[in-house]
Amino acid sequence: MIDKDRSKAMVVLSLGAGVQSSTMAIMAAKGDLPPVDHAVFSDTQNEPKKVMLYLDLLKKILPYPVHIVSKGNIMEDMLAAKGKHFPKDKYVEQWIGISTDEAGRMKPARDKYILNRHPLIEAKMSRQDCIDYLKKEKIPLPEKSACIVCPYHNDAYWHFMKTERPSEFADAVDFDKQVRNISRKEDEQLYSHRSCKPLDEVEFNKKETDKQLDMFNNECEGMCGV
C-alpha cells in the first residue's frame, strides 16, 4: 500500500524534452502546477543534437535539478545484441507528460514504491494546449524527441534528416547496414525502414516528403521499451 502523504513523497518529473513533458516542467516551475523536486531525462545517447540543446535550455530555465541518466547507447547496445538512488522510506511520485489526446498511454508504474501521476490529464490539457502555453510564456518550442535511428520515423522525417541533417542521416545509414544480420532468427534480416530496403537506397514517398514536416506534432511516444 502506497503512503500518499505528500510530505513523504519525492516528486520526480519524467522529462523527455518534447512538447508535453517540457510544458509540464515549465508549468511546475512557474507555479501553474504543484512543485516538483527533480526532473529526470533518460538519455539514449542517440538523440538529435537539437533535443540535447533544448534540454540545455530547460536546465537553465527550471529552478529544480535536472538529472541526466543513461544505461548506455541504444544504438551500440542493439548492435552488440545486448541513477540516482532514492531513500527507501519515501515513495516516488513520478510525473508523466501524457496529454488528453493520448490518454490511452496511461498505465500504472511497475514498481510498488512509484506512483505514476499525469498532471496534464488532470489539467485537461491537450497537446495543442501545451504548445499554446509555451507560446504564451515565450518559450521556444521543442523539436521532435526521438532517437536518430528510430525505425518508426515516417518518410517525411527520413527525408528531412537526409537533406537537412546529413551527418545524422549518415549515422542512421551506418547503423542500418550494421543491423542487417543481428537477428537471432536464421535467414532474417533487419532494416531501419519499413520497406525492408537499405536506408540509403530508399526512395522516400513523395506524397509524404512534399508535405511540410511538423517537428512539434510528430514525436516519439516513448513506447519502444527503452
Q: What is the pLDDT of residues 164-201, one digit of tens each?
A: 999 999 999 999 999 988 877 778 899 999 999 999 99
Cα–Cα dist 188/18, whole Å: 34
Residues 54 and 125 in one domain: yes
C-alpha–C-alpha distance, residues 213 and 159, integer Å: 10
Given a cut of 80, is residue 127 above it in pLDDT?
Answer: yes
> CA gyration radius for the chain?
19
pLDDT at 213: 63
Share of the chain above pLDDT 90, in %: 58
Q: Are residues 126 and 24 in the same domain?
A: yes
Measured between alpha carbons, how far is 203 from 208 in angstroms, rounded to an integer?
A: 11
CATH of the domain at 109: 3.40.50.620
Please tell me whether residues 131 and 159 are part of one structural domain. Answer: no
Buried/exposed code over 25-56 (b: 16+ C-beta within 10 A; e: otherwise): bbbbbeeebeebebbbbebbebbbebbeebbe
pLDDT at 207: 83
**Which contiguous run of DSSP H or E holds residue 13?**
strand 9-15
Domain that holds residue 179: 155-209
pTM for this structure?
Answer: 0.70
Q: Which three cell numbers stand for residue 119?
A: 498532471
Residue 52 above 50 pLDDT?
yes
Confidence of residue 25 (pLDDT cuts 50, 70, 90): very high
Answer whether residue 215 is part of any domain.
no
Judgement on whether residues 18 and 129 belong to the same structural domain of the protein: yes
State whether 33 and 99 are in the same domain: yes
Q: How far apart are alpha carbons 84 and 167 in whole angstroms? A: 33
Q: Give mean pLDDT, residues 149-172.
A: 92
91 shares its domain with 175: no
pLDDT tens digit sequence for 66-107: 999 998 888 787 777 544 444 555 788 999 999 999 898 899
